[in-house]
Each structure stands twice: as structure tokens, then as C-alpha cells.
Chains A and B, each alone.
Chain A
């Protein structure tokens, strides 16, 4: 069975601090995709990144970076120099051989001014 665990339910940091959101996944598929989505207070779900299981290269996009490690089944997300606008719920998700995406429970991130 596929599973995504986001152990951090809620995190608060002061603006400009770096913060890492943890994601651990379980799957028996050899080919799979990992995702991060952002849900700001307005409620929409915004796609941030997709990673396939054959690409373990870390990725950086501005202040966002993602660390994918198959050895530990983790796909962690770091925000550098956090800003108040980063306050949101962040979901890690996993998709296997079919189209279904399994979402974690989410981490609520508060960036304090």
C-alpha cells in the first residue's frame, strides 16, 4: 500500500528563518512520482514540484529547494529566508503506476513577522 507521512502537523518560524518540511513515503512501485502542493489561506491547491523515482537530483527554485533521497524514502522541502507569504498548508503526495495521488495530511506553516 502507498502511504505518505508528514510528521510535522504545524510549524511556526520567524520571518527570514529557513524551514524544512519533512515527507516520508512508502510504496512498492519501482516507478513513482512525488509531489509538493501548497494550500494558502485562500484555499486553492497549487502545484509546486514533481519528481520521478529515477531522478534523485535535488532541485532549487528560488527560495525553495527539495531533497529527494530514495535510501530513506524521503522527499523534504526547504524554504530559505522564509516570508510571511509562505504561510500555508503544504502537502506532500505520491503517485504510483496508476493516476491516483495519495496525499499526506499536510504541514501547516506559520511565518511570523
Chain B
């Protein structure tokens, strides 16, 4: 089975531009999570979905960040407008609550905002 797929793997953009990160969870998993990892703050949960519905977005840093999950096999995280402090690695993870809660992570998207 394919794991969690994220695209792009690397993104370099200029401040003020819109950035869209994409995630395809493992087929059959019903929960999806977006994380941000930085040296200063470690791994932070931004938002998570259960059955395509956003459950907790308290980790979304500000209104510039938004996330959607239009169907069970696709989610996006959008930053508009981007700022240099958004530079980080963004991970998507999915899990199947029935089988035990461990999350399986995608390879991450390394975002650099100049």
C-alpha cells in the first residue's frame, strides 16, 4: 500500500505569495492531520480532520492559514499571504481510529519563504 503522499516536497516562494500544500492520506484512513515542524517549536499540530470534517483547528497560527478536505483522499493546506516565519517542514499524517491511533506520516513539504 502506498503511504501518505505529499506534494510538493520542496517549495520556495517569495513573501506575499500564496502557497498550497497537498496531501493524500492512506486509503481507508479516516483521520488526517497537518503538522508544522521547526527547530524552535518542534512538531506542532495545526489542524485535524475526521471523516473529512475539521475537528480542531486551534493550532492554526492565524487567518493566513486555511485547510480543506473535500473528500477522503485529498487535503490542502493553504497559506495566503506567506511570510518568512512560515518557513518550516509541513507534515501530513493519517490514521485509522479503529486500529489503534498511530499516525502515519508523509515525507513532508519543506517550505522556504524568502
Q: Is the CB of B43 within 8 A of A99?
A: no
Query: Contacting chain A: which of B70-78, B79-87, B89-97?
Result: B89-97
Bound-state Cα–Cα, A95 to B102, Å: 9
Q: Is the CB of B105 within 8 A of A45?
A: yes
Q: Is the CB of A33 within 8 A of B43?
A: no
Query: Which of B31, B42, B50, B89 interacts with A103 by CB under 8 Å?
Result: B42
Main DSSP-derived SS at the B contact region: strand
Q: Is the CB of B104 within 8 A of A99?
A: no
Q: Is the CB of B42 within 8 A of A44?
A: no
Could you give, for residues 56-79 of chain A, a 1 whenever the CB lies within 8 Å of some chain B CB and a 0 otherwise? Answer: 000000000000000000000000
**Given A35-B102, A43-B89, A45-B91: A106 in contact with B97 (beta carbons within 8 A):** no
Q: Is the CB of B42 within 8 A of A99?
A: no
Q: Is the CB of B97 within 8 A of A99?
A: yes
Contacting residues of chain A (89-111) with chain B, CB-CB under 8 angstroms: 91, 95, 98-101, 103, 105-106
